[in-house]
């Protein structure tokens, strides 16, 4: 297994030395865009590290690293999503965060209205990240140095797999709180163990999404499909099922593996290691699925 780290910004992990091994034979690409924990030196935030990391997907990359043992390639961000969020559209610029008018394309979405757009205004709810507004040059630098390189390396991994096979399956890996937050569509509601989203069949062939749901159900999870619809920008950007490019978002309930009060691995029930083992079983089944449904071009 090999891991290539790029200037402390993200890493790419693949088995057997990258494309020369099984990862080159299986068109499986996973990414963890929001589990980074390395604070960039120019972050200049007033929020605590705990608050910054709490708004991301804690340890999701570590959980899914088992998939590389079964032929998948994993791309993961090392920087926190509060600094800049790889799973937001580049145009999702929050005007309330800027010291001057944004000179490029700006189309704020509902995320920016909540203070969690491309660049977050808040860490935990009502916990501000800054005591000032950000300048245009520093936002441009974050896009140039962190956001675009992450998206480009993920694009390249997906494209390389598709070029070899004419098909690729991409899993965008996240976590979710046990209950919907005040600003979420499912506010106050208990969430399932696993939520699989494909933009109502627009980012992946529904048959594949149903297979994913069935496999998680077989492993004993309570799985839901597009309910509530939480599909992010990455799967919408890369998923083109008519071309054999299937992209689904998978969210794991943090209650399965985290102590909610501390954010540490769940020790009492050994939840983290149990979940990681189950994800290994899922990855093995996914590898078999990919081998069955793809051929070398």
| pLDDT per position as a tens digit, 80-131 | 999 999 999 999 999 999 999 999 999 999 888 888 899 999 987 778 999 9
Position 296 pLDDT exceeds 60: no
Provide the token pair at 191: 């969430």
CA 213 vs. chain centroid, Å, equals: 18
Instruction: Report the candidate in 104, 110, 76 with the shortest Cα–Cα distance to residue 90.
Output: 104
State whether the Cα torsion 224-250-226-243 is positive or negative.
negative
The 10 Å CB-count burial string (b at 16+, else e) for 287-296 is bebbeebbee
SS3 227: coil
| pLDDT per position as a tens digit, 223-282 | 999 987 678 999 999 999 999 999 999 999 999 998 866 555 444 447 899 999 999 999
- Average pLDDT of every residue of the chain: 90
Give the domain range for residue 92: 2-293
* Number of residues assigned to the chain: 297
Cβ(72)–Cβ(30) below 8 Å: yes
Supply the pLDDT for residue 138. Answer: 97
Total number of domains in the chain: 1
User: From the CB of residue 100, how many other CB atoms can be counted at a distance below 10 Å?
Assistant: 9
| pLDDT per position as a tens digit, 192-218 | 999 999 999 999 999 999 999 999 999
Q: What is the CATH number of the domain that holds 179?
A: 3.40.630.40
Provide the token pair at 66: 């088992």
Which pTM value belongs to this model? Answer: 0.92
Instruction: Report the candidate in 283, 170, 275 with the shortest Cα–Cα distance to residue 232.
Output: 170
Strands 194-197 vs 223-225: parallel, antiparallel or unpaired: parallel
- What residues are paired with 250 via a beta bridge? 173, 196
| DSSP assignment string, 132-196 | SPBPHHHHHHHIIIIIHHHHHHHHHHHHHHHHHHS-EEEEEEEEE-SBB-TTSTTBTPBP-SEEE
The edge-to-edge listing of strands for the beta sheet with 223-225 is: 2-6, 10-14, 73-77, 28-32, 168-176, 245-253, 194-197, 223-225
* Percent of residues in the chain assigned helix, strand, coil, to nearest 5: 35, 20, 45
Supply the pLDDT for residue 37. Answer: 93
H or E element at residue 5: strand 2-6
Show the DSSP H helices in the chain as ranges. Answer: 49-54, 60-64, 110-113, 136-142, 148-165, 206-218, 233-238, 271-293
């Amino acid at each position: 297994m090999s891991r290539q780290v790029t200037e402390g910004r993200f890493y790419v992990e693949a088995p057997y030395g990258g494309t020369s091994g099984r990862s080159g034979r299986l068109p499986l690409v996973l990414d963890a865009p929001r589990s980074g924990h390395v604070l960039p030196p120019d972050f200049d935030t007033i929020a605590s590290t705990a608050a910054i990391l709490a708004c991301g997907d804690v340890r999701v990359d570590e959980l899914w690293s088992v998939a590389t043992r079964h032929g998948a390639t994993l791309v993961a961000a090392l920087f926190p999503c509060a600094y800049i969020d790889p799973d937001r559209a580049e145009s999702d610029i929050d005007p309330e965060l800027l010291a001057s008018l944004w000179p490029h394309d700006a189309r704020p979405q509902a995320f920016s209205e909540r203070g969690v757009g491309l660049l977050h205004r808040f860490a935990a709810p009502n916990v501000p990240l800054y005591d000032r507004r950000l300048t245009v040059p520093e936002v441009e630098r974050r896009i140039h140095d962190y956001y675009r390189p992450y998206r480009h390396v993920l694009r390249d991994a997906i494209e390389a797999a598709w070029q070899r096979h004419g098909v690729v399956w991409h899993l965008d890996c996240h976590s979710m709180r046990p209950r919907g937050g005040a600003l979420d569509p499912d506010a106050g509601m208990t969430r399932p163990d696993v939520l699989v989203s494909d933009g109502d069949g627009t980012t992946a062939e529904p048959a594949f999404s149903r297979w994913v749901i069935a496999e998680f159900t077989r492993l004993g999870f309570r799985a839901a499909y597009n309910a509530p619809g939480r599909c992010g920008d990455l799967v919408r950007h890369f998923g083109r099922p008519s071309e054999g490019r299937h992209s689904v978002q998978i969210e794991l309930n943090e209650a399965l593996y985290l102590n909610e009060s501390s954010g540490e691995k769940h020790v009492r029930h050994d939840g983290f290691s149990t979940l990681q083992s189950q994800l290994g079983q899922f990855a093995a089944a996914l590898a078999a699925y990919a081998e069955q449904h793809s051929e070398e071009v």
